[in-house]
Amino acid sequence: MTTYRDAIRESIRDALTRDDRVFLMGEDVGRYGGAFAVSLGLLEEFGESRIRDTPLSEAGFVGAGIGAALGGMRPIVEIMTVNFSLLALDQILNSAASILHMSGGQFNVPLVIRMTTGAGRQLAAQHSHSLECFYAHIPGLRVLAPATLADARGMLWTALEDPDPVVIFEHGTLYNLEGELPSDAGVVDIHSAAVRRPGTDVTLITYGGSLPTCLSAAEALAAEGISAEVIDLRVLRPMDDETVYESVCRTHRAIAVDEGWRSVGLTAEMAARVSENCFYDLDAPIGRVATVEVPIPYAKHLEQAALPGCQRIVDAARQAVGVHG
Protein backbone atom coordinates (compact mmCIF):
# COMPACT_ATOMS: atom_id res chain seq x y z
CA MET A 1 0.00 0.00 0.00
CA THR A 2 1.12 3.49 -0.84
CA THR A 3 -0.15 6.82 0.40
CA TYR A 4 -0.70 9.94 -1.59
CA ARG A 5 2.09 11.49 0.45
CA ASP A 6 4.44 8.67 -0.49
CA ALA A 7 3.45 8.99 -4.12
CA ILE A 8 4.33 12.68 -4.17
CA ARG A 9 7.59 12.05 -2.38
CA GLU A 10 8.42 9.40 -4.91
CA SER A 11 7.65 11.77 -7.74
CA ILE A 12 10.00 14.36 -6.26
CA ARG A 13 12.71 11.79 -5.71
CA ASP A 14 12.27 10.58 -9.24
CA ALA A 15 12.54 14.10 -10.63
CA LEU A 16 15.61 14.91 -8.56
CA THR A 17 17.22 11.74 -9.82
CA ARG A 18 16.37 12.23 -13.45
CA ASP A 19 17.36 15.87 -13.84
CA ASP A 20 20.05 17.67 -11.91
CA ARG A 21 18.43 21.01 -12.69
CA VAL A 22 15.57 20.02 -10.41
CA PHE A 23 15.63 21.12 -6.79
CA LEU A 24 13.06 21.48 -4.02
CA MET A 25 12.76 24.71 -2.11
CA GLY A 26 10.40 25.84 0.59
CA GLU A 27 9.73 26.32 4.25
CA ASP A 28 10.81 23.32 6.30
CA VAL A 29 11.16 21.00 3.37
CA GLY A 30 14.60 19.87 4.54
CA ARG A 31 15.43 19.19 8.15
CA TYR A 32 11.80 19.13 9.19
CA GLY A 33 10.86 16.86 6.33
CA GLY A 34 8.07 19.03 5.03
CA ALA A 35 5.16 20.42 6.99
CA PHE A 36 3.15 17.43 5.78
CA ALA A 37 6.12 15.08 5.76
CA VAL A 38 6.09 14.93 2.00
CA SER A 39 9.84 15.50 1.66
CA LEU A 40 10.85 13.43 4.65
CA GLY A 41 14.23 11.84 4.00
CA LEU A 42 15.00 13.71 0.82
CA LEU A 43 17.49 16.08 2.47
CA GLU A 44 19.58 13.12 3.57
CA GLU A 45 19.41 11.68 0.10
CA PHE A 46 20.00 14.76 -2.02
CA GLY A 47 21.71 17.27 0.24
CA GLU A 48 21.09 20.83 1.26
CA SER A 49 21.65 22.37 -2.10
CA ARG A 50 18.81 20.51 -3.74
CA ILE A 51 16.52 20.20 -0.74
CA ARG A 52 16.61 23.78 0.23
CA ASP A 53 15.04 25.10 3.43
CA THR A 54 13.95 28.68 3.00
CA PRO A 55 13.23 31.43 5.44
CA LEU A 56 9.60 32.41 5.97
CA SER A 57 9.46 34.65 2.98
CA GLU A 58 7.01 33.42 0.40
CA ALA A 59 7.42 36.35 -1.94
CA GLY A 60 11.18 35.98 -1.67
CA PHE A 61 11.55 32.31 -2.35
CA VAL A 62 8.79 32.08 -4.93
CA GLY A 63 10.41 35.01 -6.71
CA ALA A 64 13.74 33.23 -6.39
CA GLY A 65 12.12 30.16 -7.90
CA ILE A 66 11.02 32.24 -10.87
CA GLY A 67 14.50 33.68 -11.24
CA ALA A 68 16.08 30.24 -10.98
CA ALA A 69 13.70 28.94 -13.63
CA LEU A 70 14.65 31.88 -15.86
CA GLY A 71 18.25 30.98 -15.11
CA GLY A 72 17.86 27.45 -16.43
CA MET A 73 16.91 25.47 -13.33
CA ARG A 74 13.76 23.40 -12.80
CA PRO A 75 12.72 24.45 -9.32
CA ILE A 76 9.96 22.80 -7.31
CA VAL A 77 8.80 25.42 -4.86
CA GLU A 78 6.67 24.20 -1.98
CA ILE A 79 4.34 26.65 -0.28
CA MET A 80 2.98 25.31 2.98
CA THR A 81 -0.66 26.22 2.33
CA VAL A 82 -2.60 28.07 -0.27
CA ASN A 83 -3.43 30.72 2.32
CA PHE A 84 0.26 31.52 2.64
CA SER A 85 0.65 31.58 -1.10
CA LEU A 86 -1.14 34.88 -1.16
CA LEU A 87 2.08 36.41 0.14
CA ALA A 88 3.62 35.29 -3.12
CA LEU A 89 0.65 35.99 -5.36
CA ASP A 90 2.36 39.05 -6.79
CA GLN A 91 5.32 37.00 -7.92
CA ILE A 92 3.14 34.27 -9.36
CA LEU A 93 0.79 36.58 -11.20
CA ASN A 94 2.90 39.58 -12.11
CA SER A 95 6.06 37.69 -12.91
CA ALA A 96 5.75 33.94 -13.38
CA ALA A 97 2.52 34.04 -15.34
CA SER A 98 3.25 37.23 -17.23
CA ILE A 99 6.84 37.15 -18.32
CA LEU A 100 6.47 34.87 -21.32
CA HIS A 101 3.74 36.97 -22.88
CA MET A 102 5.07 40.31 -21.68
CA SER A 103 8.48 39.55 -23.13
CA GLY A 104 7.00 38.62 -26.46
CA GLY A 105 7.84 34.96 -26.01
CA GLN A 106 11.49 35.46 -25.07
CA PHE A 107 11.54 34.03 -21.56
CA ASN A 108 9.94 30.85 -20.28
CA VAL A 109 9.43 30.26 -16.60
CA PRO A 110 9.62 26.47 -16.15
CA LEU A 111 8.68 26.59 -12.48
CA VAL A 112 6.57 24.17 -10.45
CA ILE A 113 4.86 25.41 -7.32
CA ARG A 114 3.26 22.85 -5.02
CA MET A 115 0.97 23.83 -2.22
CA THR A 116 -1.49 22.30 0.19
CA THR A 117 -5.08 23.31 -0.04
CA GLY A 118 -8.37 22.59 1.58
CA ALA A 119 -10.14 22.08 4.86
CA GLY A 120 -11.26 19.13 6.93
CA ARG A 121 -8.53 19.09 9.51
CA GLN A 122 -9.83 21.72 11.93
CA LEU A 123 -7.10 24.16 11.00
CA ALA A 124 -9.47 27.12 10.93
CA ALA A 125 -9.59 30.15 8.73
CA GLN A 126 -5.96 30.74 7.80
CA HIS A 127 -4.91 27.22 6.85
CA SER A 128 -8.01 25.71 5.31
CA HIS A 129 -9.17 27.56 2.31
CA SER A 130 -9.45 26.35 -1.24
CA LEU A 131 -8.25 29.20 -3.38
CA GLU A 132 -7.53 27.21 -6.51
CA CYS A 133 -9.79 29.53 -8.42
CA PHE A 134 -7.44 32.44 -7.73
CA TYR A 135 -4.77 30.65 -9.72
CA ALA A 136 -7.10 29.11 -12.24
CA HIS A 137 -8.04 32.69 -13.08
CA ILE A 138 -4.58 33.57 -14.28
CA PRO A 139 -3.55 33.23 -17.93
CA GLY A 140 -0.02 31.96 -18.19
CA LEU A 141 -0.33 29.30 -15.51
CA ARG A 142 -1.15 25.64 -15.60
CA VAL A 143 -3.04 24.57 -12.50
CA LEU A 144 -3.18 20.94 -11.49
CA ALA A 145 -5.08 19.13 -8.77
CA PRO A 146 -3.97 15.53 -8.35
CA ALA A 147 -6.70 13.58 -6.58
CA THR A 148 -5.44 10.06 -7.03
CA LEU A 149 -2.26 8.20 -6.19
CA ALA A 150 -1.43 7.86 -9.86
CA ASP A 151 -1.72 11.59 -10.42
CA ALA A 152 0.21 12.35 -7.24
CA ARG A 153 2.93 10.12 -8.57
CA GLY A 154 2.80 11.12 -12.19
CA MET A 155 1.94 14.78 -12.55
CA LEU A 156 5.10 16.34 -11.19
CA TRP A 157 7.47 15.14 -13.86
CA THR A 158 5.17 16.21 -16.65
CA ALA A 159 4.82 19.57 -14.94
CA LEU A 160 8.59 19.96 -14.70
CA GLU A 161 8.95 19.20 -18.37
CA ASP A 162 6.44 21.88 -19.21
CA PRO A 163 8.11 25.14 -20.21
CA ASP A 164 5.56 27.22 -18.35
CA PRO A 165 4.80 27.76 -14.68
CA VAL A 166 2.66 25.04 -13.14
CA VAL A 167 0.85 25.25 -9.82
CA ILE A 168 -0.02 21.95 -8.16
CA PHE A 169 -2.64 21.78 -5.44
CA GLU A 170 -2.46 18.93 -2.97
CA HIS A 171 -5.53 18.62 -0.78
CA GLY A 172 -4.53 18.19 2.85
CA THR A 173 -6.99 15.39 3.49
CA LEU A 174 -5.56 13.35 0.64
CA TYR A 175 -2.06 12.89 2.05
CA ASN A 176 -3.14 9.81 3.98
CA LEU A 177 -5.14 8.38 1.10
CA GLU A 178 -4.03 4.79 0.70
CA GLY A 179 -4.07 2.52 -2.25
CA GLU A 180 -2.13 0.34 -4.57
CA LEU A 181 0.19 2.07 -6.95
CA PRO A 182 1.77 -0.12 -9.60
CA SER A 183 5.51 -0.26 -9.22
CA ASP A 184 5.84 1.02 -12.75
CA ALA A 185 3.48 3.93 -12.19
CA GLY A 186 4.88 6.78 -14.18
CA VAL A 187 4.22 10.07 -15.78
CA VAL A 188 0.71 11.16 -16.63
CA ASP A 189 -0.59 13.87 -18.86
CA ILE A 190 -1.45 17.28 -17.46
CA HIS A 191 -4.04 18.38 -19.93
CA SER A 192 -6.99 16.04 -19.66
CA ALA A 193 -9.84 15.44 -17.26
CA ALA A 194 -10.70 11.88 -16.28
CA VAL A 195 -13.95 10.02 -15.85
CA ARG A 196 -13.52 8.36 -12.46
CA ARG A 197 -16.86 6.64 -12.45
CA PRO A 198 -19.10 6.20 -15.47
CA GLY A 199 -22.77 7.01 -15.21
CA THR A 200 -25.75 7.96 -17.28
CA ASP A 201 -28.07 10.26 -15.35
CA VAL A 202 -26.00 13.13 -14.06
CA THR A 203 -22.39 14.28 -14.24
CA LEU A 204 -20.61 15.32 -11.06
CA ILE A 205 -17.74 17.60 -12.06
CA THR A 206 -15.10 17.98 -9.42
CA TYR A 207 -11.39 17.71 -8.61
CA GLY A 208 -8.94 17.29 -5.78
CA GLY A 209 -10.24 16.77 -2.28
CA SER A 210 -13.85 16.69 -3.40
CA LEU A 211 -13.32 13.69 -5.65
CA PRO A 212 -13.66 11.08 -2.87
CA THR A 213 -16.78 12.89 -1.64
CA CYS A 214 -18.27 12.81 -5.10
CA LEU A 215 -17.48 9.14 -5.49
CA SER A 216 -19.28 8.46 -2.19
CA ALA A 217 -22.20 10.52 -3.37
CA ALA A 218 -22.31 8.57 -6.61
CA GLU A 219 -22.41 5.36 -4.61
CA ALA A 220 -25.30 6.65 -2.52
CA LEU A 221 -27.13 7.79 -5.65
CA ALA A 222 -26.64 4.41 -7.26
CA ALA A 223 -28.53 2.87 -4.34
CA GLU A 224 -31.46 5.06 -5.32
CA GLY A 225 -31.22 4.12 -8.94
CA ILE A 226 -29.53 7.33 -10.04
CA SER A 227 -26.45 6.70 -12.12
CA ALA A 228 -23.92 9.47 -11.56
CA GLU A 229 -20.82 9.96 -13.68
CA VAL A 230 -17.91 11.47 -11.79
CA ILE A 231 -15.40 13.61 -13.63
CA ASP A 232 -12.10 14.54 -12.05
CA LEU A 233 -10.99 17.71 -13.77
CA ARG A 234 -7.33 17.08 -12.80
CA VAL A 235 -6.34 20.25 -14.62
CA LEU A 236 -8.01 23.46 -13.50
CA ARG A 237 -6.24 25.57 -16.08
CA PRO A 238 -6.45 25.23 -18.96
CA MET A 239 -9.53 23.10 -18.35
CA ASP A 240 -10.20 20.05 -20.46
CA ASP A 241 -13.63 21.14 -21.54
CA GLU A 242 -14.18 18.36 -24.04
CA THR A 243 -14.28 15.57 -21.50
CA VAL A 244 -16.79 17.51 -19.48
CA TYR A 245 -18.93 18.41 -22.45
CA GLU A 246 -18.89 14.88 -23.77
CA SER A 247 -20.15 13.62 -20.45
CA VAL A 248 -22.79 16.25 -19.89
CA CYS A 249 -24.09 15.81 -23.41
CA ARG A 250 -24.64 12.17 -22.51
CA THR A 251 -26.13 12.61 -19.05
CA HIS A 252 -27.83 15.94 -19.77
CA ARG A 253 -27.38 17.04 -16.19
CA ALA A 254 -24.40 18.47 -14.35
CA ILE A 255 -23.46 19.26 -10.80
CA ALA A 256 -20.28 21.22 -10.18
CA VAL A 257 -18.63 20.45 -6.87
CA ASP A 258 -15.82 22.49 -5.37
CA GLU A 259 -14.48 23.07 -1.91
CA GLY A 260 -13.89 26.68 -2.81
CA TRP A 261 -16.50 29.28 -2.13
CA ARG A 262 -19.45 29.43 -4.43
CA SER A 263 -19.45 33.04 -5.57
CA VAL A 264 -17.20 33.76 -8.53
CA GLY A 265 -15.52 30.41 -7.98
CA LEU A 266 -14.72 27.28 -9.94
CA THR A 267 -18.27 25.98 -9.75
CA ALA A 268 -19.37 29.20 -11.39
CA GLU A 269 -16.77 28.68 -14.08
CA MET A 270 -17.74 25.08 -14.70
CA ALA A 271 -21.41 25.95 -14.81
CA ALA A 272 -20.81 28.80 -17.20
CA ARG A 273 -18.77 26.67 -19.57
CA VAL A 274 -21.27 23.85 -19.53
CA SER A 275 -24.16 26.18 -20.16
CA GLU A 276 -22.27 27.95 -22.94
CA ASN A 277 -21.39 24.74 -24.69
CA CYS A 278 -24.00 22.16 -23.71
CA PHE A 279 -27.06 24.35 -23.40
CA TYR A 280 -29.20 22.42 -25.84
CA ASP A 281 -28.22 19.16 -24.24
CA LEU A 282 -29.14 20.20 -20.73
CA ASP A 283 -32.21 18.68 -19.22
CA ALA A 284 -31.93 20.44 -15.89
CA PRO A 285 -30.31 23.57 -14.52
CA ILE A 286 -26.65 23.05 -13.64
CA GLY A 287 -26.32 22.46 -9.92
CA ARG A 288 -23.52 23.77 -7.77
CA VAL A 289 -22.24 22.45 -4.50
CA ALA A 290 -19.55 24.55 -2.89
CA THR A 291 -18.35 25.69 0.47
CA VAL A 292 -20.60 27.91 2.53
CA GLU A 293 -19.32 31.44 2.29
CA VAL A 294 -17.60 31.78 5.64
CA PRO A 295 -13.99 31.74 6.71
CA ILE A 296 -13.54 28.08 7.61
CA PRO A 297 -14.25 27.75 11.34
CA TYR A 298 -12.29 25.64 13.79
CA ALA A 299 -15.09 23.69 15.50
CA LYS A 300 -15.47 20.38 13.75
CA HIS A 301 -19.24 20.47 13.34
CA LEU A 302 -19.11 23.98 11.92
CA GLU A 303 -16.27 23.13 9.60
CA GLN A 304 -18.12 20.09 8.31
CA ALA A 305 -21.31 22.09 7.89
CA ALA A 306 -19.43 24.56 5.73
CA LEU A 307 -17.94 21.98 3.36
CA PRO A 308 -19.62 20.36 0.36
CA GLY A 309 -20.46 17.04 1.95
CA CYS A 310 -21.84 13.90 0.40
CA GLN A 311 -25.44 14.65 1.32
CA ARG A 312 -25.43 18.03 -0.35
CA ILE A 313 -24.09 16.48 -3.52
CA VAL A 314 -26.71 13.73 -3.39
CA ASP A 315 -29.44 16.30 -2.90
CA ALA A 316 -28.23 18.39 -5.80
CA ALA A 317 -28.08 15.35 -8.05
CA ARG A 318 -31.59 14.31 -7.04
CA GLN A 319 -32.86 17.74 -7.82
CA ALA A 320 -31.20 17.66 -11.20
CA VAL A 321 -32.90 14.42 -12.13
CA GLY A 322 -36.19 15.73 -10.78
CA VAL A 323 -36.42 13.60 -7.68
CA HIS A 324 -36.61 15.84 -4.68
CA GLY A 325 -35.47 14.57 -1.33
Interacting residue with another protein among 37, 40, 70, 222 (CB under 8 A): 70
Q: In this complex, which beta carbon is closest to another protein, that of residue 5 or of residue 237?
A: 237
Interacting residue with another protein among 66, 112, 113, 231 (CB under 8 A): 66
Interacting residue with another protein among 17, 41, 45, 94 (CB under 8 A): 94
Interacting residue with another protein among 7, 12, 35, 69 (CB under 8 A): 69
Other CB atoms within 10 A of residue 68 CB = 21
Could you tell me the CA-to-CA distances from 204 to 93, 177, 190, 304 in Å, in that order? Answer: 30, 21, 20, 20
Check 27, 58, 259, 303 and give the catalytic one.
58
Residue 133 exposure: Cα atoms within 13 Å on the Cβ side: 19
Q: Tell me which amino acid residue 301 is.
A: H
Residues of this chain, 114-133, that bind another protein according to CB under 8 A = none
Is 241 one of the binding residues for another protein (CB under 8 A)? Answer: no
- Is 127 noted as a catalytic residue in this protein? yes
Interacting residue with another protein among 2, 81, 83, 95 (CB under 8 A): 95
Taking CB under 8 A as the rule, which mask of x and - marks residues 22-61 in contact with another protein? -x-------------------------x----xx-x-xxx
Among the residues of the chain, which ranges form H helices?
4-18, 42-46, 58-70, 82-85, 89-90, 99-102, 132-136, 149-161, 210-223, 241-251, 266-278, 300-306, 310-321
Q: By rule CB under 8 A, what count of residues binds another protein?
A: 52
Q: In this complex, which beta carbon is closest to another protein, that of residue 138 or of residue 307?
A: 138
Residues of this chain, 152-181, that bind another protein according to CB under 8 A = 162-164
Interacting residue with another protein among 14, 19, 28, 90 (CB under 8 A): 90
Residues forming a β-bridge with 167: 113, 143
- Please give the Cα distance from 176 to 178 (Å, whole number): 6
Contact 16, 74 (CB under 8 A): no
Is 150 one of the binding residues for another protein (CB under 8 A)? Answer: no
Is 225 one of the binding residues for another protein (CB under 8 A)? Answer: no
SS (H, E, C) 241-285: HHHHHHHHHHHCCEEEEEEEECCCCHHHHHHHHHHHHHHHHCCCC
| Exposed/middle/buried for residue 309 (C-beta within 10 Å: 0-12, 13-18, 19+) | middle
Check 10, 127, 170, 269 and give the catalytic one.
127
Interacting residue with another protein among 1, 223, 301, 322 (CB under 8 A): 322
- Is 58 noted as a catalytic residue in this protein? yes
Q: Tell me which amino acid residue 226 is.
A: I
Angle 149-161/4-18 helices, nearest 10 degrees? 30
In the complex, the residues that contact another protein under the rule CB under 8 A are 21, 23, 49, 54-55, 57, 59-73, 75, 90-91, 94-95, 99-108, 139-140, 142, 162-164, 238, 252, 279-284, 322, 324
Active site residues: 58, 127
